[in-house]
């Protein structure tokens, strides 16, 4: 598997040209963005990654989702080269193939999985022999059915995914999440002439929908935030966002430390924050940098260049030259007929920009990354890094596992 593969942005329009390789020394802003597979690394607030050092690498995604073609991985190459060791290539043990008639073990079967941890010695399990420190299987026992067992449980339970959208008003935040989930998951209302208009967001608002696909239910919560940086004085304007994120950690912690805690704690924690960068100008604004610096300590941030169809190829090149920008996206709820197919797109002077066409924009890459290859990773990083950091600090400050008072929520100081 090739690592640190540089990511290229395709361009739209007849005069499309491939963007040159990323500059070797792009700008450094000291921003920690979402790092897949970060669990073995120290919490993100201890790292000082430049946004500019992000590169895209495929790895687990391919193993887990063979059907997806090259989903991107956002890595901060500087640290990943030191922290991520390529998996050791080991010869596979000679295990007899699973007989085709063998199904998942029944829970009532006399030698079912209940034997695990129940005092049954490995030596007495039929089919297991020992060779040195490891063991060689002499027949199929069904370990691999754990995957099917897990699949069934997940299907039954469903899962939560909470995504926050942040950026200036009118950057296409609501449109993009609707495009991502192919439905009206963002807030909308009926405007003049029966047209659906997305209302301007004036406060942080979470809207939940249950989406089902292939028998799997996902409770998707979109947390919409008011136009970020719209005011003249934007000092500390990330505070309400940071406060909201920490409040969700606090809620979760309270449930967790309850003596009679729920079997399944409702998860309102923000798993991912899509940060929308304006397509105007050729680099990040100071406010973008400040926001990402502050918030990357508490949440997974994925920066996107909004409305990338409004940029010329030169402008995009300029942007790319200055910062390594992962996803230049386009959102739309309008369909067009292109080559006999109905596709979501936006009409421009030089033709229809197809949202899902990787030659036109990076929407499909973002979608694959966010949903098809790293959704679970985003949730795990939220739990194991961001929440864990909050929890440790919170319990530490509290002097142990004392009851947590309601007015004790840690806010922007994390």
Binding site for ligand GDP (CB under 6 A): 167, 169-175, 198, 307, 309-310, 330-331, 346
Six token digits for residue 42: 């120290």
Measured from the CB atom, the residue of 22 and 357 that comes closer to ligand GDP is 357
Q: Is residue 221 classed as helix, strand or coil in its secondary structure?
A: strand
Query: Among Mg ion, ligand GDP, none, what binds residue 172 when CB lies within 5 to 8 Å by partner kind?
Result: ligand GDP
Residue 181 has a CB neighbour count (10 Å cut-off) of 19
346 binds, among ligand GDP, Mg ion, none (CB under 5 to 8 A by kind): ligand GDP
Nearer to ligand GDP, 327 or 390 (CB): 327
Q: Which does 77 bind (CB under 5 to 8 A by kind): ligand GDP, Mg ion, none?
A: none
The interface partner of residue 37, options being ligand GDP, Mg ion, none and the CB cut-off 5 to 8 Å by kind, is none
Total residue count of the chain as it appears in this document: 414
Between 277 and 295, CB nearer to ligand GDP: 277
Q: Which stretch binds Mg ion (CB under 5 A): 26-34, 147-155, 173-181, 320-328?
A: 173-181
Nearer to ligand GDP, 37 or 172 (CB): 172
What, of ligand GDP, Mg ion, none, does residue 38 touch, CB below 5 to 8 Å by kind? none
Q: Does 178 bind Mg ion (CB under 5 A)?
A: no
Task: Please give the order of strands across the beta sheet that includes 159-166.
Answer: 205-213, 216-224, 159-166, 272-277, 301-305, 327-328
Give CA–CA dist 368/353, Å, rounded: 19
75: its two tokens:
């890595």
Identify the residue among 55, 162, 174, 248 touching Mg ion (CB under 5 A): 174
Least separation in angstroms between residue 201's CB and Mg ion is 5
Rounded to whole angstroms, how far apart are CA atoms 191 and 187? Answer: 13
Separation CA 129–CA 194 (nearest Å): 71
Q: Coil, strand, or helix at residue 344?
A: strand
Q: How far is the CB of 364 from Mg ion (least distance, A)?
A: 22
Q: Tally Cβ neighbours within 10 Å of residue 281.
A: 13
Q: CA 328, CA 311: separation in Å to the nearest integer?
A: 10
Least separation in angstroms between residue 173's CB and ligand GDP is: 3
CB-nearer residue toward Mg ion: 53 or 174: 174
Dist CA 221 CA 163 (whole Å) = 6
Using CB under 5 A, list all residues that contact Mg ion: 173-174
């Amino acid at each position: 598997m090739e690592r640190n593969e540089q990511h290229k942005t395709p361009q739209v329009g007849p005069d499309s040209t491939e963007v040159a390789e990323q500059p070797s020394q792009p700008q450094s802003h000291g921003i920690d963005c979402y790092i897949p597979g970060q669990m073995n690394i120290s919490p993100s607030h201890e790292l000082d990654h430049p946004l500019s050092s992000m590169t895209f690498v495929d790895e687990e995604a391919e193993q887990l989702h063979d059907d997806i073609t090259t989903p991107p991985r956002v890595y901060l190459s500087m640290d990943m080269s030191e922290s991520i060791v390529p998996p050791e290539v080991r010869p596979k043990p000679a295990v007899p193939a699973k007989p085709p008639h063998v199904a998942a073990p029944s829970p009532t079967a006399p030698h079912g999985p209940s034997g695990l941890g129940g005092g049954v010695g490995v030596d007495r399990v039929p089919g297991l022999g020992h060779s040195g420190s490891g063991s060689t299987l002499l027949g199929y026992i069904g370990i691999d059915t754990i995957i099917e067992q897990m699949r069934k449980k997940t299907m039954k339970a469903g899962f939560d995914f909470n995504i926050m959208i942040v950026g200036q008003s009118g950057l296409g935040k609501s449109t993009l999440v609707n495009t991502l989930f192919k439905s009206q998951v963002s807030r909308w209302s009926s405007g003049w002439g029966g047209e659906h208009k997305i209302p301007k967001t004036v406060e942080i608002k979470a809207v939940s929908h249950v989406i089902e696909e292939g028998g799997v239910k996902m409770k998707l919560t979109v947390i919409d935030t008011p136009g970020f940086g719209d005011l003249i004085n934007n000092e500390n304007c990330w505070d309400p966002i940071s406060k909201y994120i920490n409040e969700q950690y606090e809620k979760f912690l309270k449930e967790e430390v309850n003596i009679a805690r729920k079997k399944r704690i409702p998860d309102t924690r923000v798993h991912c924050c899509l940060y929308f960068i304006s397509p105007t100008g050729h680099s990040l604004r100071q406010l973008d940098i400040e926001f990402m610096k502050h918030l990357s300590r508490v949440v997974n941030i994925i920066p996107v260049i909004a409305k990338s169809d409004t940029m010329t190829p030169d402008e995009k090149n300029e942007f790319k030259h200055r910062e390594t920008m992962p996803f230049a996206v386009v959102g739309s709820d309008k369909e067009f007929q292109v080559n006999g197919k109905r596709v979501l797109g936006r009409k421009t002077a030089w033709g229809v920009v197809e949202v899902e066409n990787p030659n036109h924009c990076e929407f499909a890459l973002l979608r694959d990354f966010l949903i098809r290859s790293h959704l679970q990773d985003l949730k795990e990083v939220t739990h194991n890094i961001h929440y864990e950091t909050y929890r440790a600090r919170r319990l530490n400050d509290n002097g142990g596992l004392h009851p947590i008072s309601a007015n004790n929520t840690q806010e922007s100081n994390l």
